Amino acid sequence: MPQTERPSLTVVVPTYREAENLPEFLDRMAAVRAAHSLQLDMLIMDDDSGDGSAEIIAARGMPWVNLVVRTSDRGLSQAVLEGLFLAKGEVLACMDADLSHPPESLPEMMRALETGADFVIGSRYVAGGSTSDDWTALRWINSQAATLLARPLTSVRDPMAGFFVLRRSTFEQGRDFYPIGYKIGLELIVRCDCQHVVEVPIHFGNRRHGKSKLTLKQQILYLEHLRRLYMYRCGIVPFSSAITGKTSGPPRSSTRTPKGPDSKSLAGQRLLQDFSPRATPDDRAANRLGRDR
Ligand SMILES: Nc1nc2c(ncn2[C@@H]2O[C@H](COP(=O)(O)OP(=O)(O)OP(=O)(O)O)[C@@H](O)[C@H]2O)c(=O)[nH]1
Ligand SMILES: [Mg+2]
């Protein structure tokens, strides 16, 4: 399909110490981009890893890959939300850099969006989806329990997924975002009021290199996140704790971060400053809890 017929796509990738995974991740993304003639750019939202990630990205010299180095309000959800505000594409995607999420599934996920879905998940738990055989029973139970707890909010099979695609117009309908913890996909499904969520089966591989950043603290934060989403569904939105109103975010034209290893995340600082003065001590404690480094 000629490039002009496909909507432009920005892939937002949160990273923290993923230098070992980045070379293969970038190569596979480049291959998908070329094979499907995608108008694809990438925003790598890195929390100042200092592990050589910036140098690896710069050395690749891929003009469609932009690095944003974040030095404040670190955290996965914050990084993703900031990336979504910065993104220029008509379609927005989010995925991990550790090669758990196959870049090769992106074209099928985009097709699902083009044929009517308003949110598409790269899903482990629909027919044809899978996880690695070596998942421990504990990890599996953990994942299932987290999914069950979210069931009153959405009936999708894999609401915990960090691999998803949505139109920017859908994101712009979102309101009262409260970026906390790891489950930014669930946050978006609820706060953007996504009605038609489609799950495309993927094989969720184990991370190739490096250590998981998912900690017990993150799991505790998930309970706090759920509490807030339940309150939101019941129409209770504490004014002090949310990014209020529509997805106003930072003005796009002036906040696009120049690519390169020295980029600093000014937009994110503005975005998060935007709601932190209104945050209660409770909110600040929750955010601190999310930061374990
Ligand atoms: N910017 C940013 N990225 C993060 C942070 N924590 C994790 N990430 C990235 O978010 C993605 C998901 O984190 P993972 O550690 O892989 O979490 P997981 O997928 O639940 O766990 P495993 O894959 O089993 O290790 C990866 O690309 C991480 O590098 C953070 O605090 N800030
Ligand atoms: Mg991972």
> E strands of the chain, at which residues?
9-15, 40-46, 65-69, 91-94, 119-123, 130-131, 164-167, 175-177, 197-201, 203-204, 243-246
pLDDT at 239: 54
C-beta 79 within 6 A of ligand 1 = yes
CATH of residue 216's domain is 3.90.550.10
Kindly state the average pLDDT of the residues 5-9: 89
Return the best residue to mutate from 96, 203, 218 for the ligand 1 pocket (most ligand atoms within 8 A of CB). Answer: 96
Render pLDDT for 159-211 as a digit per residue (tens, 0 to 9): 999 999 999 999 999 988 987 878 999 999 999 999 999 999 999 998 889 98
3-state helix, strand, coil split of the chain in percent (to 5) is 40, 15, 40
pTM above the 0.85 mark? no
pLDDT(73) > 80: yes
Query: Which has more pLDDT, 6 or 224?
Result: 224
Quick one: pLDDT band at residue 4, thresholds 50, 70, 90? low
C-beta 215 within 6 A of ligand 1 = no
Question: Number of structural domains, the chain?
Answer: 1
Residue 210 alpha carbon, nearest atom of ligand 1: 25
What is the extent of the structural domain holding 92?
A: 3-291
pLDDT(110) > 90: yes
